[in-house]
Structure 1
Amino acid sequence: MNIFILGAIAIIAYILQIFLGMKQIKNFNSVYIRMKRKGKVAIGRRPGKIASGTILLLGVDHTGLIKDAEMMQGTSIFARFKPRPQFVGLDIHHLTEAPMLMKENKLTRQAAANAQKIYLEVEQGNHREEAPVSPIFNIGNQLSLMKGTIQAKLTKRSV
């Protein structure tokens, strides 16, 4: 097969992935904004690199009761948010102790625990969001560290 045809297929697939990824982000933003207009939103996530990833959005009132819940779970860019009415009416302070949570899959339980943990930290004023480091930035950091180490060794030998 011609290399140009393979290249064109790869470029088209990449553009399609970008487009569908943007639609997924738009779906997240619309659900988040809709919930945010009603009150606080607790976001629980259980990222997945190989396995399925999960994002749980919980609309919480001023007393801590969950008024709205939607979850996106899947490995592909076709995953969308779906209502999760079983969370409605629960107190987020006691979410991980709820008997209904034991009926959910492991990823949902982890996302719910993450949402509760972050909500409680924010409520107490102790939450600090740690920005994830991109793999490219991480490689850059590693190269900078290696360069500094090599330069330090070279300057010690030349002295």
Structure 2
Amino acid sequence: MLIIILIIFVAFILQAGLGFLQLQNFTHHYQTLRRQGRVLIGRNPKRFQAGTLLLVALDQDGVIRACQLMKGVTIFARFQTITRFNGQRFIELVTDYKQLAPEPRLLRQCLLNAYQTLIKYHSGQLNEHDFSDQTNFFDLPLVTYARIRLQRVGHYLKKVGS
């Protein structure tokens, strides 16, 4: 019993340490893009999918200067540069269905989430939830991944048992 508790404690500490490194990675990329202009952050609002975070740097005219995407289930996810949006006006990009349709679903969701946040900002409707920095332990990527796996095992056992 003591060994199981110790293993859980070590896993929790490891998760916290690697999560800290991921936060440092986010901070580095955010600051890099911030030097180029305003930065919009889009995220995938779904819980049971790969976590996705999008950073979009805009100049004063709303033209995309740089775009980076972090997608993954684990804390080892890293940002990838997306250059195909550079030079486009952000609002025209997210409101043009023909341009968004061929993009991956998670990227589209992040772009639309960033657009939604931009609209809320301009209309003065941002609320405390939009700025919340609180992290629920059960929403951490590794915990979410384990929960999904356990649910799948449970569904499988139900099928086998019936």
Q: TM-score range by the shorter chain?
A: 0.7 to 0.9
Aligned residue identity for 2:102:
K
Determine the C-alpha separation between the residues in 2 that align with 1:87 and 1:57: 12
Determine the C-alpha separation between the residues in 1 that align with 2:107 and 2:120: 20
Rg (Cα) greater in structure: 1
Determine the C-alpha separation between the residues in 2 that align with 1:21 and 1:56: 18
Determine if the alignment matches structure 1 residue 12 to structure 2 residue 16: no
> Among 11, 26, 33, which residue is 1:35 paired with?
33
Identity of matched residues, %: 33
Shift of 1:92: 0.8
The size of the alignment, in residue pairs, is 133
Aligned residue identity for 1:101:
L
Tell me if structure 2 keeps the 8 A contact 1:95–1:113.
Answer: no
Shift of 1:130: 3.1
Tell me if structure 1 keeps the 8 A contact 2:93–2:99.
Answer: no
> Among 87, 91, 96, which residue is 2:89 paired with?
91
Tell me if structure 1 keeps the 8 A contact 2:117–2:126.
Answer: no
Unaligned segments of structure 1, at least 5 residues = 137-159
Moved over 6 A (4+): 133-136
* C-alpha RMSD over aligned residues: 2.0
Match of 2:76 in 1: 78
Residues 30-49 of structure 1 deviation map (CA, whole Å, 9 limit, x = unaligned)? 11111112210011111343
SS at match of 2:84: helix
Tell me if structure 2 keeps the 8 A contact 1:95–1:116.
Answer: no
Aligned residue identity for 2:30:
Y
Match of 1:113 in 2: 112
Between stretches 111-120 and 125-134, larger displacement belongs to 125-134
Aligned residue identity for 1:9:
I
Match of 1:52 in 2: 50
Determine the C-alpha separation between the residues in 2 that align with 1:88 and 1:19: 34
Match of 1:152 in 2: none
Unaligned segments of structure 2, at least 5 residues = 138-162
Match of 1:66 in 2: 64
Shift of 1:125: 4.2
Between stretches 6-15 and 96-105, larger displacement belongs to 96-105
Q: Structure 1-normalised TM-score?
A: 0.75
Q: Structure 2-normalised TM-score?
A: 0.74
SS at match of 1:86: coil
Shift of 1:119: 2.0
SS at match of 2:47: coil
Aligned residue identity for 1:112:
L
Match of 1:128 in 2: 126
Shift of 1:14: 0.7
